[in-house]
Chains A and B, each alone.
Chain A
Amino acid sequence: MYVAVKGGEAAINEAHKLLAEERRGDPSVSELSVDQIDEQLSLAVDRVMTEGSLYDRKLAALAIKQARGDLIEAIFLIRAYRTTLPRFGSSSPVDTAAMGIRRRISATFKDIPGGQILGPTFDYTHRLLDFKLAAEGDGGHGNSLDEDAGSIDEKVLLDEAMPRVVDLLKHEGLIEDERPGDDDDDVGDLTREPMSFPVERDIRLQNLARGDEGFLLALGYSTQRGYGRSHPFAGEIRLGEVAVEFTPEDLGFPIEIGELTLTECQMVNQFKGSAEAPPQFTRGYGLSFGHCERKVIAMALVDRALKGRALGETVEGPAQDEEFVMEHSDNIQATGFVEHLKLPHYVDFQSELELVRKMRRKMARADADNANNEIVEAAE
């Protein structure tokens, strides 16, 4: 148990000064700006926004700078900041089918309406360090299209319609349908009410969306290795911009307040059917702020694994255990409890120390008594 301590102000102040100095690093190296972090460490910004559960690129970039690149510390800063702001309301559910696509791939069908769009991806790179990036100056970059942006009219554009790949399977009834609930206004919010198990899908998806990428990655991997196998295929991964529509109470009609970058993963999984349901594909879903591809794939694997209970599957792996997954997915809760171990526990430890000493004294006395008895017996 942690017991409050007093004092140490001077040392704490000095420690924070030292922290600021370390954060800045060598003053002869130019300082990072928040804009540079936003533009050039954009995937770190995306992760902080997703797990901090707050879409604001500049705030996430600032948090990364303040946290010296410790992303969980940055997420902590963002979570703390959001509690200081009032909530104006909730958006209409975003329409990812209407996304302005920048990347869209399917591992299940090679020919899809709209085509496969690789977009900005690390896939098919050789994973060799590029020392050109270490050289000073503006290394080779950019898209040749930048140079003649004026002639965009003659360029090939993406197809207007980019239907969701999983929707194509729906026509034959080959895949589980995802239908809106009866009441779109009745959406659970784990930032307002504590979770109680079993939970509905809305709470599960909210929990996974803000859950730790590493934790979900390991759990998703575990399902592939046999701990709750569900035969996944990445039906579709898409990245791009969607408009956010919000109806302010004082206006009474919807307006688009801006655009967000989102990543979505639709996982297609096998299901052999049951007495009631014919065999069909089942689904897992992942959605994140920004470009968090690994996160949404892992999220979709875990979402599908957690459907096991509803589908009557035997729970045999940790990823299928709803309470285990959802109670341990939040890296801010986890880090709070794990890292509090380093705070002063002096009183608590003193009592444990006393207890161990007492037990040892008792044992020593018992040993001495036994030894005395043996001497007495031997003498007799």
Chain B
Amino acid sequence: MAQVSIIADEQTSLSSSKSITLRISRYNPKHDDSSIFTEFIIPYEKWTTVLDAILEVKKYFDHSVAVRYSCRQASCGSCGMMINGKPRLACFTKISELNSNVITVEPMNNFPIIRDLAVKFERMFESHHKIKPYLIRDDTELESDAKEFLQSPKEVEQYIQFANCIKCGLCNSACPTMATDSSFVGPQALAQAYRYVADSRDKGKDSRLKIIDESHGIWRCHFAGSCSQVCPKGVDPAMGIQLLRGYLLGFRS
């Protein structure tokens, strides 16, 4: 935080009785040695989200702020960032719920920075791809006589919360192991491994368990539980990891 620039007198003309100071981390790895914070005074209403405030900055103050976003409704998982020190989705975090007059936004931890608030997802997607995130079986619904692979509500319950993952990376950002172990597969991929292992239609359990049963796999989780705490979709990766360990230790089959 070498330099702070304040743009206090350039408030937008939007009518609002309340305003916050939005501190945005600025960093371009191509030519910056360290990040700096730029501050903006932004008016807000009770429904204004942090993403709205950042887009306000881009619209009226500084269009060069780099931020990734898309759906603006917590479905695409693009706008994950550190908001007041905690990994959150900017589109899913209302300014009014933060109870602070100063909001600091930084790029997610444990991800390489592209620029400002945008980070690279390559490692997470590689890990996700590695655990084979699809149903593995020899037949298909198209060829089978049954046409559908029916499941009971109880069978669906086994994995359905893990199917809500939007690959936003907040869990990986909050994970303390990810911070030190660059080869760790991460809570996102492990939760997805459980999602398919627990699916009664899937036949790829053994191959998936073999993939995560390596020196930087499932056993490096210390069960800090921070992944589950930050998930905006209510997925509990920490529980998924413990249930997966049950398979590997022979408590589940």
* Co-complex (A, B): no
